[in-house]
């Protein structure tokens, strides 16, 4: 791992902020690194308020979207709320459908089948709308590139409102309204909303029209916070406000479906990390292993007994997903080593029997192992489907665009994308992708980088310091959990490898005459010889809490150690 220590802000700025806020220099430095330079900015950061949310009507086409929904309600039309099968899509559908149903009955939901229809708006979904007399479809977390599908719907007199956050193509679909802050002609001040976030802006506009306030929408923010965490969008600006209040709802008054999930895992106070690793995979598992409808049903259920049945079913999907993910990852790693592909700049693997629902997770695992842009393909009907993942600093979406001659369809973001192609084009695509990446990637990006916020001494780690650090949450892109580095650390003699397969590292360390701390390094058993010989080493870590038999102690979650 390359360690990259962030530049220290100027001493003058640190001094000013230290005295303004009454905090120590390390806290002031962390705030300055996050662009927070004044008392007012710090107040907004530590105490976000709902007043900071932007006017939803600043988003291009919002007036048209609201007018079309109000006219549908006035004319008693049937409205179909349509969204993708992942967390962002299913939470968006649950959000918009449950809000509309609170005052209008003619609303139904539709999630496409991952295996039969694939990603995004489908012809089958439009046919379903026609067969069941829906004249308005609200598409969430998808649709900004569905030019042909929206045209097909128009032929059947079905209107579309699109709420998306993916990059649009050169042309927009002929929808009544296309709500997407990433539109070139949209002046909305915050560009990084997730799909559920765009859906929430639509709710805000509808609520404004009905003389409701933001307080009437608070109970929906648990869904928005879950989507923000799962979709790995920056937790800055408006997303920070939405995630902050959404977490409050999850922890104080969660919807019935969340209560049912949390009963399964026996977890109380949740952070955004818990949402990402506990709630999100279970919601996702429905669409991966069975059908995204199961997730929407759970998220909109109000009877706890019924929700418990759905949650138990989803728990089983999640277990199946974990088993499939483990097996396919092992098979993919074998394929790479047998084909002697470790020297390539890219990882591209394919097996027609791999479960389409977990290839995205497998792609992430392979990226962690080999640290290079990765594609995992499987058979999907007549075509091959793939999930793409990238390394920090490399835009895989642009790389796919450069290979589009061999791709039938693709979409996504800088670091994660999906595509389909015909089997006859697989080898040509694989060669083209390798060529594009190898000629455009900075070789430095192929070695994982650990960004360190500050070098500190153990003496700085006190309960008060940690209490302030906790208030930096919710953490995520744009505001990652601070990583610290300390030099001349020594194990006091208790260092050992732990875990069933001895793959984790546990040390008890001190620096000079400092207090001692327990450190745990997951998957770091191979660093035993650096950390456990009594020789000094340097450690990179985040500070967290460990509760054992009712006692809470600060501990170090190790990220890396070096001699």
Helices (H), 471-513: none
Report pLDDT for 97. 97
- The residue among 91, 507, 11 whose CA lies nearest residue 296 is 91
* CB distance 486 to 458 below 8 Å: yes
Provide the 10 A C-beta neighbour count for residue 343: 5
Please spell the DSSP secondary structure of 422-466, one letter per residue. EGGGHHHHHHHHHHHHHHHS-GGGGS-EEEE-EE--GGG--HHHH
Q: How many CA atoms lie within 13 A of 319 on its CB side?
A: 8
End-to-end CA distance of the chain: 13
pLDDT of residue 357: 85
Strand partners, 537: 489
Structure tokens at 403: 């290979």
Q: What pLDDT is stored for residue 343 in this prediction?
A: 74
Handedness of CA 229, 235, 238, 244 (dihedral sign): positive
What CATH number matches the domain at 339-446, 3.10.310.30, 3.30.930.10, 3.40.710.10, 1.10.287.990?
A: 3.10.310.30
Give the Cβ contact number of residue 309 at 10 Å: 13
How is domain 56-313 classified at the architecture level of CATH? Alpha-Beta Complex (3.90)
Digitized pLDDT (tens) for each residue of the chain, 563 residues in all: 889 999 999 999 999 999 999 999 999 999 999 999 999 999 999 999 999 999 999 999 999 999 999 999 999 999 999 999 899 999 999 999 999 999 999 999 999 988 788 778 999 999 999 999 999 999 999 999 999 999 999 999 999 999 999 989 899 999 999 999 999 999 999 999 999 999 999 999 999 999 999 999 999 999 999 999 998 899 999 999 999 999 999 999 999 999 999 887 777 789 998 998 889 999 988 888 888 889 999 999 999 999 999 999 999 998 998 999 999 999 999 999 888 777 789 999 999 999 988 999 999 999 999 999 999 999 988 899 999 999 989 999 999 999 999 999 888 788 889 999 999 999 999 999 999 999 999 999 998 989 999 999 999 999 999 999 999 999 998 999 999 999 999 999 888 999 988 999 999 999 988 889 999 999 999 999 999 988 999 999 999 988 877 788 899 999 999 99
The per-residue pLDDT for 199 is: 98
Nearest to 198 by CA among 175, 181, 217: 181
Domain 450-562 class in CATH:
mainly beta
Could you tell me the two tokens for 234? 């920056």
Tell which residue, 328, 331, 378, has the closest CA to residue 350.
378
At 333 the three-state DSSP class reads helix
Cα Dmax for the chain: 77
Give the model's pLDDT for residue 286: 87
- Cβ-count burial of 104 within 10 angstroms (0-12 exposed, 13-18 middle, 19+ buried)? middle
Polymer length of the chain:
563
Domain boundaries, the chain: 56-313, 339-446, 450-562
Contact criterion met (CB below 8 Å) for 453 and 484: yes
Cis omega (within 30 of 0) for bond into 138? no
DSSP tag of 426:
H
pLDDT at 167: 86
Q: How many CB atoms lie within 10 A of CB 57?
A: 15
Q: What pLDDT, in 10s, does the model give residues 271-320?
A: 998 998 889 999 988 888 888 889 999 999 999 999 999 999 999 998 99
CA 373/CA 391 separation, integer angstroms = 6
CA 311, CA 138: separation in Å to the nearest integer?
27
Per-residue CA distances from 237 to 229, 240, 479 (Å): 14, 5, 10
521: helix, strand or coil: strand
Collapsing DSSP to helix, strand or coil, 275 comes out as helix
3-state helix, strand, coil in the chain (%, to 5): 45, 20, 35
């Amino acid at each position: 791992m390359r360690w990259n220590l962030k530049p220290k802000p100027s001493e003058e700025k640190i001094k000013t902020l230290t005295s303004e806020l009454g905090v120590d220099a390390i806290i002031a430095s962390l705030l300055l690194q996050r662009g927070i330079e004044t008392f007012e900015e710090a107040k907004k950061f530590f105490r976000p308020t709902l007043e900071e949310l932007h006017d939803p009507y600043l988003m291009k086409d919002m007036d048209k979207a609201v007018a079309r929904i109000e006219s549908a309600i006035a004319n008693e039309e049937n409205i179909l709320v349509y969204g993708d099968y992942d967390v962002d899509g299913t939470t968006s559908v649950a959000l918009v459908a449950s809000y509309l149903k609170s005052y209008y009955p003619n609303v139904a939901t539709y999630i496409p089948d991952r295996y039969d229809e694939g990603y995004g708006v489908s012809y089958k979904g439009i046919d379903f709308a026609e067969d069941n007399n829906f004249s308005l479809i609200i598409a969430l977390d998808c649709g900004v590139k569905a030019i042909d599908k929206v045209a097909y719907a128009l032929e059947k007199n079905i209107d579309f409102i699109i709420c998306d956050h993916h990059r649009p193509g050169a042309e927009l679909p002929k929808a009544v309204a296309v709500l997407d802050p990433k539109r070139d002609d949209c002046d909305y001040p915050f560009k990084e909303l997730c799909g559920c976030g765009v859906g929430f802006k639509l709710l805000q506009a509808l609520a404004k029209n009905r003389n409701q306030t933001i307080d009437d929408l608070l109970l929906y923010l648990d869904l928005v916070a879950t989507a923000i965490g799962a979709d790995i969008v920056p937790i800055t600006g408006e997303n920070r406000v939405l995630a902050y209040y959404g977490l409050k709802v999850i922890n104080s008054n969660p919807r019935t479906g969340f209560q049912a999930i949390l009963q399964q895992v026996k977890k109380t106070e949740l952070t955004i990390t818990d949402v990402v690793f506990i709630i999100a995979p279970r919601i996702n598992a429905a669409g991966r292993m069975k059908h995204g409808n199961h997730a929407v049903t759970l998220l909109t259920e109000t009877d706890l007994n019924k929700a418990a049945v759905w949650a138990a079913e989803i728990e089983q999907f999640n277990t199946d997903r974990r088993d499939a993910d483990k097996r396919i990852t092992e098979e993919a790693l074998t394929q790479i080593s047998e084909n002697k592909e470790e020297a390539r700049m890219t990882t591209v693997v394919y097996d027609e029997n791999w479960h389409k629902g977990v290839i995205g997770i497998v792609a992430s695992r392979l990226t962690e192992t080999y640290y290079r842009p990765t594609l995992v393909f499987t058979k999907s009907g007549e075509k091959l489907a793939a999930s793409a993942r990238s390394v920090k600093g490399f835009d895989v979406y642009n790389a796919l665009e450069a290979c589009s001659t061999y791709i039938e369809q693709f979409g996504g973001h800088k670091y994660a994308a999906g595509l389909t192609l015909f089997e006859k084009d697989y080898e040509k695509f694989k060669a083209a992708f390798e060529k594009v990446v190898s000629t455009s990637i900075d070789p430095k990006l192929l070695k994982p980088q650990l960004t360190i916020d500050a070098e500190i001494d153990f003496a700085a780690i006190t309960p008060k310091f940690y209490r302030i650090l906790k208030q930096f949450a919710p953490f995520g892109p744009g505001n990652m959990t601070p990583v610290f580095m300390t030099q001349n650390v020594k194990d006091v003699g208790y260092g050992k490898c732990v875990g069933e397969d001895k793959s984790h590292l546990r040390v008890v360390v001190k620096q000079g005459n400092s207090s001692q701390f327990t450190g745990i390094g997951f998957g770091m058993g191979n660093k035993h010889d650096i950390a456990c010989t009594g020789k000094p080493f340097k450690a990179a870590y985040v500070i967290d809490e460990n509760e054992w038999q009712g006692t809470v102690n600060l501990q170090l979650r190790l990220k890396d150690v070096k001699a």
